[in-house]
Amino acid sequence: MLRTGGSRLVAPGLRSLLGGRPQPGLAAAGARAYHERVVDHYNNPRNVGSFDKDDPNVGTGLVGAPACGDVMKLQIRVDEGTGKIVDACFKTFGCGSAIASSSVATEWVKGKQMEEVVTIKNTEIAKHLSLPPVKLHCSMLAEDAIKAAVKDYEAKKAKMGDSPSEKAAEA
């Protein structure tokens, strides 16, 4: 669990090193701080869970970063008629920044067209969460997971001969 230390957010182990009291200017002392949005999405993640990967209206993106061990599964459920993402969920094994990036990604894709969600960039997620440079790979995983989920959904539809682009051409 991540907690606040004064006006800064710190990991619980740091608090004991600091004598359990808030420390002004903590960032200047070299401690790594987490933005309140990261802490919020870590402590209260949105849309945790999974859908049936065999459901034809579900796309699954599974991505990982071997360097740090983070693994992210993001799934989208698409309304066949409108092509909009009606629901999204995730399961992530990783640090607080990876969990927060996954949570934000699921919130951002809901209610949007697939063409729109593939334009979501890791830099937008990183900026929203105020991720430090050392944690940018977490937002990159979220971007990759979104794209992989869309690609999986489109591959399922193409296999069934019912791709969204074919439907749009028919209309």
Instruction: Give the residue from 61, 127, 70, 115 showing the smallest Cα distance to 88.
Output: 61
Choice among 138, 141, 146, 148 that is catalytic: 138
Q: Which of 48, 65, 68, 118 is catalytic?
A: 68
**107-136 residues labelled b (16+ CB within 10 A) or e (exposed):** ebbbebebeebbebebeebbebbebeeebb
Distance from C-alpha of 134 to C-alpha of 1, rounded to nearest angstrom: 20
Q: Is 138 a catalytic residue?
A: yes
Contact 119, 82 (CB under 8 A): no
List, by residue number, the catalytic residues. 68, 138
